């Protein structure tokens, strides 16, 4: 029982809901599952019911609306079947900060013990191993071993101007490890003075928010700030939009924070990234945490257009209306089939553009969409923007 899990503005704004249902129409989970109980409008209605039944006076008044334990537990399941994509918030005509409310609601449900217990593993893994997969944190930068052209000492320096914060998925997941490899090659070509944190990088804490464990983020925030400070860096570059958003919104304002697409666009304008012709037609998928979450829409498109030979075609829903890939909000852990169904709708939209490649700027989007196209033997390539640029880098002469 914790109405305190919500900020005052969250409590006030949720009363503004006009029940127009536009959030339900825009929700990829509702569309893929055909289940209205996954919609924002249903969730807000239930949340109000829950809150009113808790307080003393209103509790008596609204006694007959009180949820049974079973209803509360079923409600908890629906709340976690959400990618936290923010599409509902983007269309809400009264401007309710729905994504923040969904995160607070998850925390409330954890405090109320009415949540899918599968998510406990996120807190356990991060607390014990400092990464979301319970891998050995000393192996965070082991992907460098797959780069024959890497410097002998790897990419971990004592001091550097820029820290590249890799994130858990790109550090450990084989398919996603191609992203830090590509990014490092681009930074090498542009002669960027960068370092990794290696084992001193801990999970940024974003999965903890999605798991309703906001209290646990303080320790990882403090640790990561100190780790970057020790490198003497003033800038942190992220290829993971979720790490980027987490640092922007929940870390103290100490360093300059830049997503790779913004950073590399400046490098390209300065003429520091050599590129050869790449005859390709691609479409661009806006990752939820980079687009709606961080308002970065144009830099990735400018980067793509700056590669000679590459033609960019847009999907029907793009920029702030872009449909989610299905991989956010820890949904894959809760309901794999729903993630796949959402990814399927996304891939259909990409195929309709006639592009041979869907480019994104997020390791989780790459994982989700690639898994779907491979399983279903669909002829569409999925690339991160780092990999697209890497393809355009001229071959090194021996």
Contacts to ligand SF4 by CB under 6 A: 17-23, 26-29, 40-41, 44, 82-88, 91-94, 96, 98-99, 102
CA distance 284 to 270: 24
Cα atoms found within 13 Å of the Cα of residue 269, Cβ hemisphere only? 9
CB of 107 to ligand SF4, least distance (A): 16
Contact 363, 382 (CB under 8 A): no
Contact 294, 257 (CB under 8 A): no
Contact 181, 147 (CB under 8 A): yes
Contact 358, 367 (CB under 8 A): no
Return the number of the residue (40 or 287) whose C-beta is nearest ligand SF4.
Answer: 40
Which residues lie across from 236 on neighbouring strands? 163, 257
Contact 347, 360 (CB under 8 A): no
Return the number of the residue (322 or 388) whose C-beta is nearest ligand SF4.
Answer: 322
Residue with tokens 């729905």: 98
Return the number of the residue (86 or 167) whose C-beta is nearest ligand SF4.
Answer: 86
Name the burial class of residue 77, with classes exposed (0-12), middle (13-18) and buried (19+) by CB atoms within 10 angstroms of its CB.
Answer: middle
Residue with tokens 């820290």: 163
Return the number of the residue (84 or 182) whose C-beta is nearest ligand SF4.
Answer: 84
Return the number of the residue (81 or 301) whose C-beta is nearest ligand SF4.
Answer: 81
CB of 323 to ligand SF4, least distance (A): 10
Return the number of the residue (22 or 278) whose C-beta is nearest ligand SF4.
Answer: 22
CA distance 361 to 71: 39
CB of 89 to ligand SF4, least distance (A): 7
CB of 296 to ligand SF4, least distance (A): 18
Q: What is the DSSP letter of 382?
A: E
CB of 93 to ligand SF4, least distance (A): 6
E strands in the chain = 162-165, 194-195, 235-238, 256-259, 280-284, 310-313, 357-360, 381-384
CA distance 285 to 322: 7
Contact 70, 78 (CB under 8 A): no
Contact 288, 84 (CB under 8 A): yes
CB of 328 to ligand SF4, least distance (A): 8
Return the number of the residue (27 or 162) whose C-beta is nearest ligand SF4.
Answer: 27
Which residues lie across from 284 on neighbouring strands? 359
Return the number of the residue (198 or 210) whose C-beta is nearest ligand SF4.
Answer: 210
CB of 272 to ligand SF4, least distance (A): 37
CB of 182 to ligand SF4, least distance (A): 29
């Amino acid at each position: 029982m914790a109405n305190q899990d919500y900020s005052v503005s969250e409590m006030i704004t949720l009363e503004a809901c006009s029940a127009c249902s536009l959030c339900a129409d825009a929700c990829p989970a509702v569309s893929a599952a055909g289940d209205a109980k996954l919609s924002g409008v249903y969730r807000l209605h239930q949340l109000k019911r829950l809150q009113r039944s808790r307080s003393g006076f209103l509790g008596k008044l609204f006694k007959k609306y009180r949820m049974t334990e079973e209803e509360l537990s079923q409600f908890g399941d629906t709340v976690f079947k959400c990618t936290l994509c923010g599409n509902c918030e983007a269309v809400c005509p009264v401007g309710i900060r729905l994504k923040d409310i969904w995160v607070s609601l998850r925390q409330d449900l954890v405090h109320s013990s009415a949540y899918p217990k599968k998510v406990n593993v996120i807190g356990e893994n991060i607390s014990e191993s400092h990464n979301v997969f319970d891998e050995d944190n000393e192996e965070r930068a082991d992907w460098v071993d797959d780069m024959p052209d890497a410097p002998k000492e790897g990419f971990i320096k004592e001091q550097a101007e820029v820290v590249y914060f890799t994130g858990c998925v790109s550090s450990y997941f084989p398919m996603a490890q191609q992203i830090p490899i590509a990014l490092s090659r681009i930074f090498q070509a542009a002669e960027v003075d960068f370092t990794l944190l290696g084992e001193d990088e801990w999970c940024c804490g974003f999965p903890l928010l999605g798991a309703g464990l906001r209290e646990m983020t303080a320790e990882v925030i403090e640790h990561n700030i100190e780790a970057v400070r020790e490198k003497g860096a003033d800038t942190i570059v992220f290829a993971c939009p979720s790490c980027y958003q987490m640092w922007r919104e929940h870390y103290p304002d100490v360093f300059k924070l830049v997503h790779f697409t913004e950073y590399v666009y400046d490098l390209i304008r300065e003429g520091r990234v050599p590129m050869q012709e790449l005859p390709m037609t691609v479409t661009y998928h806006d990752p939820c945490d980079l687009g709606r979450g961080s308002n970065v829409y144009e830099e990735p498109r400018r980067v793509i257009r700056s590669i000679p030979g590459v033609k960019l075609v847009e999907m029907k829903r793009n920029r702030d209306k872009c449909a989610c890939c299905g991989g956010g909000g820890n949904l894959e852990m809760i309901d794999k089939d729903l993630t796949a169904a959402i990814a399927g709708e996304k891939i259909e939209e990409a195929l309709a553009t006639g592009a041979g490649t869907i480019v994104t700027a997020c390791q989780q989007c790459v994982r989700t969409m690639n898994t779907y196209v491979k399983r279903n033997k669909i002829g569409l390539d999925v690339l991160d923007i780092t990999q697209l640029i890497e393809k355009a880098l001229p071959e090194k002469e021996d």
